[in-house]
Chain A
């Protein structure tokens, strides 16, 4: 059980069954993100199937499927008998992953901007303005009027 506590202190995996993404994929995405962002480091151990399934209240086969996908993507490695660990090749993976993650966010932003009738030029302008405000530390309470859709 030690592993799960350690893992949970580093990464909090959240499942939203109402999300339009299969549950195993939600787990895969969040672990990928944690590896790409450095929250999880090479050699860190992932929880056992049992402990993870009990914690997330999902069918154990969902964890099996998530681990298989992470393994075939080279993000984790199974060491026989001992468990599942984050793989060593972080840098190469991270560049690729970082880009994928930010591209997903950009796609979502572009879709929303399109729905709200913002042009791409307006979007650039807004991004720069937000960035300027953020570096002044003034964005905290203004953020709601943009994201509160």
Chain B
């Protein structure tokens, strides 16, 4: 496999706030990478480093083997980028932006751009100030993919958009990977989307990597098991290896990283049994980890 992006022990502070703390990420060709985490977890800061918009305070960032801060032109020429803000110049017409973008991308594929504009039903003589949120996102998407970038970077692309435009964005991701064998990195708070679209996920929490790996492996490492006790419990049972425990009385739902067999033994010691067990969803994993770190902070 060819490594396209290499982030190694990256740290960054804004004043006294730690935005990124020792974050590493490797992206290989042909896969879709998801970045998830609460607002302020560091997703956008990480993405800005990939684009060379921020200089690492510590650690190393390489995209196509280049330093994006030192070599922005060579890097950005091969990158497509769509941000949540979809920061497009209000006064410009769509056709002007297309001409402008095409001029600095030698690999621009006009036929692909035309096809997307037609699919989206975008009128290229319109000014951005006259476009809806959804249309701006679609226009931003055309600009991000029409030069067939080797790396497509999307920062919260679906944020605030309706279902139709969200589907357009997912389609663009699939097409980028299938037709061109290219790489996508996208951040999203829509975990359902990440679970479907990503091969690999990085969960950021307060600037650190909380969990990272292939989506199926990350999910398989976390299980949700239903535990039943013979007697009514008045308070949450202490279960070793559990990330979160919810429920009441005799039935409790436990999210754990411990193997099923070892949880079974732990639970059996207090007379309980596991009546059902399945792998966790990304959403359950993220919520359990956030709750736990909030609890730890309150305890400290």
Contact = CB atoms under 8 A, between A and B. Distances in A.
Interface of A: 15, 17-18, 20-24, 49-50, 53-54, 56-62, 111, 114-115
Interface string B171-195: 1011101110000000000001001
Interface stretch (B62-70, B147-155, B196-204): B196-204
Q: Which residue of B171, B197, B198, B220 has the most chain A CB atoms within 10 A of its CB atom?
A: B197
Q: Is the interface of B mostly helix, strand, loop or mixed?
A: helix
Given A17-B192, A59-B199, A22 B171 contact: no
B178 A20 contact: no
Contact of A57 (B174, B224, B281): B174
B279 A20 contact: yes
B157 interface: no
Nearest to A111: B276
A22 B279 contact: yes
A49 B178 contact: yes
A114 B174 contact: no
A54 B216 contact: no
Interface in B234-284: 275-276, 278-281, 283
B135 interface: no
13 contacts: A18-B283, A20-B278, A20-B280, A21-B278, A23-B196, A50-B179, A54-B171, A58-B197, A59-B174, A61-B199, A62-B199, A111-B276, A115-B275
A97 B32 CA distance: 33
Contacts of A50: 174-175, 178-179
Nearest to A114: B275
Contacts of A24: 216
Q: Which residue of A15, A50, A61 has the most chain B CB atoms within 10 A of its CB atom?
A: A61
A50 B172 CA distance: 11
B219 interface: yes
A91 B281 CA distance: 36
Nearest to A49: B178
A23 B281 CA distance: 11
B30 interface: yes
Contacts of A18: 192, 281, 283
A36 to B, nearest CB: 23
Range class of the B interface residue count: 20 to 34
B275 A57 contact: no
A17 B276 contact: no
Contacts of B197: 57-59
B178 A58 contact: no
B195 A17 contact: yes
Interface in B46-62: none
A49 B219 CA distance: 23
A43 B219 CA distance: 35
A56 B193 CA distance: 11
B196 A59 contact: yes
B167 interface: yes
Given A17-B281, A18-B281, A54 B177 contact: no
B131 interface: no
A21 B195 CA distance: 12
Contacts of A20: 224, 278-281
B110 to A, nearest CB: 22
B161 to A, nearest CB: 15
A115 B173 CA distance: 43
Contacts of B276: 111, 115
Nearest to A65: B216
Contacts of A23: 195-196
A53 B195 contact: no
B88 to A, nearest CB: 26
A62 to B, nearest CB: 8
Contact of B220 (A22, A111, A115): A22
B30 A61 contact: yes
B279 A57 contact: no
Given A60-B177, A61-B31, 13 more contacts: A20-B281, A23-B196, A49-B178, A50-B175, A54-B171, A54-B175, A57-B174, A57-B197, A58-B174, A61-B32, A61-B177, A111-B276, A114-B275
